[in-house]
Structure 1
Amino acid sequence: MTEAAPVLFKRKSAKHAARSRAVDVDTKSGQIASGTAAGTGDEPPSVIASKLKSKLKSRNKPSKLSFGGEEEEGEGEVFQVKKSSLSKKLALSKQSGHITPSSFEPVLPKTSNGPTYSVADLNALKASTPSARPRQTDESASYDAEVSMAADSLAHSSLSQIVDLTEDVDMETSIPSASAVQAAKEKRERIRKTGPDEEDFISLSVAKRVDFSQGPHPESRLMREEDEVGEGEDEYAEYTSAQERIALGKKSRKLEAKKRREEMHEMIADAEEEDEETMEWEQEQIRRGGMRMEESVVQGPKPTYKPAPIPTLTPIPTLGPAIARLTHSLTALTTSHAEHTTSMVSLSDELSQLEIREKEMREMIVKAEEKRSWFASFREWMESVAAFLDQKFPPLEKLEDEQVSLLQERYDMVDKRRRADDEDDLSLFLGTPPPPLQQAEETDELGRVVPKANPAATRRERMSARISRRDRRRMLSRASATTSAGAEEDGYSTDSSLPPSDAADYETAVESLLEKGQDILSDVRAKEFREPGLGLGKWFGEWRERYADSYTGAWGGLGMVGAWEFWTRLEILGWNPLEDTRSLDTFSWYTSLYEYSRPRNPEQNEDEDILPELGPDGDLVSAMISTAIIPRISKMIESGAFDPYSVKDTRSLVDVAEQIESSVERDNLKFQILLKAPFTVFQRAVAVTETALTPYLALNNPRFDPEAIPARRRYLTRQYKLLSNMLRWRKYAGERFGLGNLITTLLTKCMLPIAESGWDVGGEIIMRKAIEGVPAELVPSMLQARMRTP
């Protein structure tokens, strides 16, 4: 029966260190064992222990230093440590007995108080120094605890096989026998029951385990999570080699050795790289160690003697050339002195000019500062004026609109009465047209429907009222109450006059308007805001006197007119130029602006009657009339202040236009607006007359009535008044805006049809009287033909 194969165990080494390949030698027979036991399991444990100790002795032999694990035969190149150039130089200098310093190192003196050694002394010291550690012959020093424990365990387990611990780790793994497994299990069970022997290990801790707190469950082998906190293995694994792994296989150990060699090559290459800082540091360390020597002083060549050159011979100067040279020098000095004198004079003149300029600049700075402060005050005052106007202008504009509404209301009352008179007269000699089919219902203030009056009864009442007014007017003017005069007066009874009650109400409304205008400045106490001459006139006049250039460039006069417009419009509030006899020059604003536009010379005596000339602003009165007066008068004329049938209003209008023309040029755009306003009123009057006459001419149903002839005469007389006023205004304004065509329309469509209906009973007389003042080119051809017909 063959012997059973030995059971082998693979043991992992706990140390990662280089070791030589183990060779088993049999101490008795001298044969080499390859990891198997020499005998069978009959050998006692003492023999096995002696064999293991002999193997351990063979391991303690010194081996060569190797980087990167075990050195294998024929694999990889042998690593050699490279030295830096500086270390090589240092070694060479030690052998030669001196060190050559670098050119940039500081030089130390050669003399030294320390001991000196020769080359022979150093070589003798090196020979007597051992190069390797002595072998340890003490068996206790080479005793391996692991091997001893393994031997004891083999002795107690009565194993029949031997475990070779010196075999290489890359050997094949052997399966343990059943008896070895059973012995290991029994040992583990015995240790678990009885506890480990105190002599199995030597504790490295000075304190005992019982000295520390064992926690709430000391018998438990589980470790709590908070007990693990504070261990730095994971946090500092990079520095403690906690993450390193030990290569067990042959291939992995080769890779690990190769990797370590590459890292060493990189470290050596980095060490060989020399930079300035490293060189300086090495030289400094050498200098501190006293290894530097003084550099030999390089001596230059010995200077040779050169005698001083002998100057050339110079002839002795004579008197003539010396005098000439002195004369030339004197002339040059005189010229230089004159030039310097001239330069000093020019510099003194320039200095004086600079002083004058500096004085002027200082004066300019003072003036500029005064100007700045004055304009700051002026601006502050103008801002207060602007705030004042923003507060006071809206009430003034409201009162102006109220005055216009009063004029419009009065004109509507007069025009309504005049149209009623015309309709009554037309119905007497042309017949009464039928009333419209649908008439709008009239309501009173409470919304109640006003009952419609009988047209015939209403007409009789108007006629009786008209007769009573005519009789009352004739009684007042008895001096001119002749038959012819009375016939001429007939038709003029509605000449822009109101009934006494309506006239009284109108006067009361105008007086209330004037009182409201005075209340606008009732809360103003400052005189410069109540009288613009003390405020605006003072500030703008001072601006014109002190800073005329900026005043003219900024059109200061027009700016003052724009600010003065409020006080001008407030003063003319309630003024109707067609009824009031006051002219423009009677107002205070006119006088103030006239005097401001013509400043007096300070040297001129105020008592002199010499009319001062216009200032740089020109005539500011004209500017104020164009800005405030003309728009205001034009609006009043178009709103009802001017009655086209009133001869008095037409004459007053011509007078006002002549006053304005004296200050404003006729071709001025604002003046053209003034001329167009009366034409608009005339055009509206002719259109209303033509519209009212159209239904009566279409009816043309005359009837026998004794009042028909006077009624026709009154109607033609009113149209003749309108024609006369248009001719009077055309005489002043000229042929503008189609006024001649308007006159022709009045003659053709408003007067001629009525005159032809009663040509023999007064129509011819009035038409001949009408065309006497009309230019021939404005008389229509049909009227001329009718006048030539007998």
Structure 2
Amino acid sequence: KRRESQADPALSTEPSAVNIPDAAFIQAARRKRELARARDDYISLDVKHTSAITGMKKNSDEDPESEPDNHEERIPFTPKPQTLKQRMAEETTSRNETSEESQEDENQDIWEQQQMRKAVKITEGRDLDLSYSSEPQTVKKFDTLISLPPVNLEIIKKQLNTRLTLLQDTHRSHLREYEKYIRDVKSSKSTIQNLENSSNQALNFKFYKSMKIYVENLIDCLNEKIISIQEIESSMHALLLKQAMTFMKRRQDELKHESTYLQQLSRRAETSTNESLAVDEKTQWILEEIESRRSRRRQARALSGNCDHQEGTSSDDELSSADMNDFQKTQGDISQDRKKIFEDVHDDFCNIQHILLKFQQWREKYPDSYYEAFISLCIPKLLNPLIRVQLIDWNPLKFDAIGLKQMPWFTSIEEFMASGMEDSKKEDSSDKKILSTVINKTIIPRLTDFVEFIWDPLSTSQTTSLITHCRMILEELSTCANEVSKGKQDLLKSIVVRMKKAIEDDVFIPLYPKSTVENKTSPHSKFQERQFWSGVKLFRNILLWNGLLPDDTLQELGLGKLLNRYLIIALLNAIPGPEVVKKCKQIAAYLPEKWFQNCAMRTSIPQLENFIQFLLQFAHKLSGSEFRDEVKEIIPILVKIKALNQAESFIEEYHLDHLKSVIREV
């Protein structure tokens, strides 16, 4: 009621006379309420004391005998002990009083806030009414002077076409999404079907277990047979090496004995003695054997119609009938031993096609596990012993040797790789490198052994056959693998080293006095001619490697070490004539045309500078001799090797205007 009485004056006042109570007024009202609340609950100390004394007097009047004696009166200095129930009751009472006081304080605060908000709202409302009343009321009117854009059929048609185009684009996008969803549904169904088909764990386990057992048995079989394979390989290699060393030693011994014999003839001619030359039996037998083989080769060439052959360019690789029979018998025994290696082995463990078929089944059924197991790295190692068995009889130095592409292992690997490219969706499938790895790890090392120990660079037939196989292998290797393999580098390096050794050991062109070699039928002249043409033959065999070996390497070997060091010296010592022109033309014919394909070339390569100077000097000698007509044969040689400036100078110097047409044709 007090709150309502206090609030009534504020509510009854007019809005114009509203007074907001300040903090001091509110604090005074709060203290007043607290005092009023205290008066209601307060009991005076005097009243209590009087009532207590009165009660005591009444008790004493009623029962005077019950009053204690003076010595029995006790003054209580401490409060009387309370029981547990009394203490709990007091605590509950104090808590209730505290909560009631706090609740009243909160109610008071809420009431004060409400009063202040009411006063503020009334004041704001009055201000708003005044502001609205002061503003004039305005009504928006449409301005008829504003002109709208013109509308015609073209604009409407254009807008409709634009709208139609947008709708068509939207329709097409919806169709594409629909087709995509159809494909996704089909793909999901296919995936579900594949998962359902491959969910048979028992079959998977059975397959992997069978492959594990098969591979273990295959490895055990190959480990047992590898010793026999190595022994037979060593036997065949030793047989071919023995034959090659026999030919090489015989050629060097015959060259030594023949050169010694001719030196003895020269010394006897210098002393002008008519005594017969004493020749030991061994030298005599060797010379007769050499001449006998040459006679047989001449007869064979005559029967075949080869009349342009030069003495010294044939390969002296003939064996006696006894030696040939022994060689063939030993080779046949090795071939029989090779066939017996796997005669007690099932085809699944010795036939390359059957082995690859096992792995092909794995790749088709479980491609993920196949590629995760890196089988493409294991297959070349597994096939290595089996391929080596097939290569035991293979001799790349024979002109009739079978090509690698015709071998069974090569075709089997190609078919395996081709089927892998069809089955695999990976463009960079690792199976594509199987063939290149086999060539690197198995074929090239065997080819390198032939080059280092068995190949004779002086033999044109061996060189031609070796180049054919090397070219095919390196081309196949370049198509399968982009990187340059270490095996390829080792092979090319061994070829260069072997040709250097042949130049140093097998090239020997003796120089005799011109009086000795003027007679073309003399043994000195014949021996010198044979040795010169033997050097030309090696020169040709070296340049046959054009395209496989770098140009600078071939120029260093063929031109720097052989032509400039041996052949040109022999030409300088030769008697000018048609024979020298023929030799120069043959040397120029063996030079690769690729070296001179640059049309802007007016001077030849630096390594041919000595050869060009010799041609110019030789032409100068011919111009003053009876063979001046041979000069016209020198100009085409200069033109072929792109020594055009020297050729023009020579023509102008000797007034050979009729040869200018040869230069114009270039």
Match of 2:330? 509
Of the three residues 649, 655, 667, the one matched with 2:468 is: 655
Distance (whole Å) between structure 1 residues aligned to residue 541 and residue 444 of structure 2: 21
Deviation at 1:402, TM superposition (A): 2.0
Q: Deviation at 1:457? A: 3.9
Which residue in the other structure is 1:538 paired with? 357
Which amino acid counterpart does residue 740 of structure 1 have in structure 2?
Answer: Q
Q: Which residue of 2 aligns with 1:633?
A: 447
Q: 1:770 aligns with which of 580, 583, 587?
A: 587
- Look up the match of 2:407: 587
Hey, what does 1:671 align to over in structure 2? Answer: 488
| Distance in 1 between residues matched to 2:261 and 2:585, nearest whole Å | 23
For 1:727, the aligned partner's letter is L
SS at match of 1:511: helix
1:390–1:512 CA distance, 2 compared to 1 (3 A):
same
Q: 1 CA distance for matches of 2:378 and 2:84?
A: 99
Query: Distance between the aligned counterparts of 2:84 and 2:526, measured in 1?
Result: 156
Q: Deviations over 1:35-68 (max 9, x none)?
A: xxxxxxxxxxxxxxxxxxxxxxxxxxxxxxxxxx
Relative to total residues, which structure has the larger helix share, 1 or 2?
A: 2
Amino acid at match of 2:367: A
Partner residue, 1:714: 530
Matched residue SS, 1:574: coil
SS at match of 1:618: helix
Indicate whether 1:618 and 2:437 are aligned: no
The one-letter code of the counterpart of 1:773 is Y
2:378 matched to which residue of 1? 559
Q: Does structure 2 conserve the Cα–Cα contact (< 8 Å) formed by 1:496 and 1:643?
A: no
Amino acid at match of 2:394: W
Question: Is the Cα–Cα contact under 8 Å of residues 719 and 751 in structure 1 kept in the other structure?
Answer: yes
Please give the per-residue CA displacement for 1:371-396, whole angstroms capped at 9, x wherever unaligned.
44433332232222221111111211
Alpha-carbon distance in 1 for matches of 2:588, 2:263:
24
Of 526, 534, 548, the match for 1:733: 548
* Counterpart among 262, 267, 284 of residue 460 in structure 1: 284
5 Å-filtered alignment, 1:78-117, equals none
Task: Name the CA distance, whole Å, in 2 between partners of 1:593 and 1:740.
Answer: 39
Any conservation in 1 of the 2:379–2:434 contact (CA below 8 Å)? Answer: no
State the Cα distance separating 1:501 from its structure 2 match: 2.9
CA contact (8 A) 1:491 1:715 kept: yes
Q: State how far apart, in whole Å, the 2-side matches of 1:384 and 1:634 are.
A: 32
In 2: Cα distance, 1:764 partner to 1:420 partner: 32
Measured after TM superposition, the shift of residue 720 of structure 1 is: 0.8
- Describe the shift of the 1:627–1:722 C-alpha distance in structure 2 as closer, same or farther (beyond 3 A): same
> In the aligned structure 1, how far is the partner of 2:514 from the partner of 2:260?
9
- The answer (yes or no) to whether the contact 2:405–2:411 under 8 Å persists in 1 is yes
Point out the structure with max Rg over C-alpha. Answer: 1
Q: Percent identity?
A: 20
Map of 1:397 onto structure 2: 230
In structure 2, the residue matched to 1:682 is 499
Q: Is the 8 A contact 1:754 1:763 kept in 2?
A: no
Change beyond 3 A, Cα 1:361–1:739? closer
Residue 572 of structure 1 aligns with which residue? 391
Following TM superposition, by how much is the alpha carbon of 1:602 offset from its aligned partner in structure 2, in angstroms? 10
Cα distance in 2 for residues equivalent to 1:361 and 1:567 = 37
Q: Which residue of structure 2 lines up, in the alignment, with residue 550 of structure 1?
A: 369
Q: In structure 1, how many angstroms separate the alpha carbons of the residues matched to 2:287 and 2:441? A: 47
Letter in 1 for 2:379: M
Deviation at 1:575, TM superposition (A): 0.7
* Residue 407 of structure 1, CA deviation: 1.9
Residue 572 of structure 1, CA deviation: 1.7
Q: Give structure 2 stretches of 5+ with no counterpart.
A: 1-82, 87-188, 268-277, 596-603, 622-666
Structure 1: distance between partners of 2:406 and 2:198? 46
2:342 aligns with 521
Residue deviations 1:705-737 (CA, integer Å, cap 9, x gap): 8211111101111111100111111x2314268
Taking the aligned partners of 1:616 and 1:500, their CA distance within structure 2 comes to 52
Deviation at 1:686, TM superposition (A): 0.7
Q: Of 270, 279, 294, which residue of structure 2 is paired with 1:470? A: 294
The C-alpha deviation readout for 1:105-159, integer Å capped at 9, x for no partner, is: xxxxxxxxxxxxxxxxxxxxxxxxxxxxxxxxxxxxxxxxxxxxxxxxxxxxxxx
Secondary structure, in 3 states, of the residue corresponding to 2:456?
A: coil
Tell me the TM-score normalised to structure 1 length.
0.45
CA distance in 1, matches of 2:252, 2:382: 44
Instruction: Determine the C-alpha separation between the residues in 1 that align with 2:264 and 2:556.
Output: 30
Helix, strand or coil: the match of 2:317? coil
* 1:411–1:592 Cα change, 3 Å: same
How much has 1:425 moved relative to structure 2? 5.0
Distance apart, 1:764 and its partner CA: 6.3
Shift of 1:639: 1.6
Query: Measured at CA, do residues 500 and 753 of structure 1 come closer, stay the same or move farther in structure 2, by a change above 3 Å?
Result: farther
- In the superposition, relative to structure 1, how do residues 455 and 543 fare at CA in structure 2: closer, same or farther (>3 Å)? farther
CA distance in 2, matches of 1:600, 1:299: 96
What is the correspondence of 1:199-210 to structure 2 with a 5 Å cutoff? none
- Mapping of 1:143-182 within 5 angstroms? none
Q: What aligned pairs does 1:492-503 form with structure 2 within 5 A after superposition?
A: 492-503=313-324
- In the superposition, relative to structure 1, how do residues 550 and 431 fare at CA in structure 2: closer, same or farther (>3 Å)? farther
Cα pair distance change 1:370/1:460, threshold 3 Å: same
User: Structure 2: how far apart are the matches of 1:786 and 1:591?
Assistant: 53
Where do 1:188-587 residues align within 5 Å? 367=200, 370-427=203-260, 456-480=280-304, 485=308, 488-524=309-345, 526-534=346-354, 536-579=355-398, 580-587=400-407
Measured against aligned partners, the alpha-carbon deviations of 1:614-637 in whole angstroms (never above 9, x if no partner) come to 966125333322221121112122
Q: Gaps spanning 5+ residues in structure 1: where? A: 1-297, 302-355, 435-453, 604-612
Match of 2:566 in 1: 750
Deviations 1:518-573 (A, max 9, x none): 1111232x221132322x22331222122212322332123122101211111121
Distance 1:588 1:422, change over 3 A: same
For 1:513 and 1:568, locate their aligned partners in 2 and report how far apart those are by CA, in whole Å.
16
CA distance in 2: counterparts of 1:513 and 1:787, whole angstroms: 54
Residue deviations 1:282-333 (CA, integer Å, cap 9, x gap): xxxxxxxxxxxxxxxx9999xxxxxxxxxxxxxxxxxxxxxxxxxxxxxxxx
Aligned residues between the structures: 399
Q: 1:710 to 1:779 in 2, by over 3 A?
A: farther
Distance in 1 (alpha carbons) for counterparts of 2:311 and 2:562: 21
Q: SS at the partner of 1:617?
A: helix
Residue by residue over 1:251-305, the C-alpha shift from the partner in whole angstroms, topping out at 9 and shown as x without a partner, is: xxxxxxxxxxxxxxxxxxxxxxxxxxxxxxxxxxxxxxxxxxxxxxx9999xxxx
Q: Which has the higher contact order (CA 8 A, sep 6+)?
A: 1
- Aligned 8 A contact 2:258 2:287 in 1: no
Contact 1:756 1:763 in 2 (8 A): no
Q: CA offset at residue 515 of structure 1?
A: 1.0
- Provide the residue aligned with 2:173 in structure 1: none
Check conservation: 1:752, 1:767, Cα contact below 8 A.
no
Q: 1:361 to 1:749 in 2, by over 3 A?
A: closer
Amino acid across the alignment from 1:631: P
- CA drift of 1:596 comes to 1.2
SS in 1 for 2:478: coil
Q: CA RMSD in A?
A: 3.9
Equivalent pair of 1:716/1:755 in contact (CA under 8 Å): no
Partner Cα distance (2:235, 2:606) in 1: 40
Q: Report how far residue 576 of structure 1 moved.
A: 0.6
Q: Distance in 2 between matches of 1:768 and 1:423?
A: 30
| Alpha-carbon distance in structure 2 between the residues aligned to 1:595 and 1:703 | 66
Residues 529 and 362 of structure 1: CA distance in aligned 2, closer, same or farther (over 3 Å): closer
Distance 1:406 1:499, change over 3 A: same
Amino acid at match of 1:684: K
Supply the distance in 1 between the matched residues of 2:327 and 2:552 (Cα, whole angstroms).
33
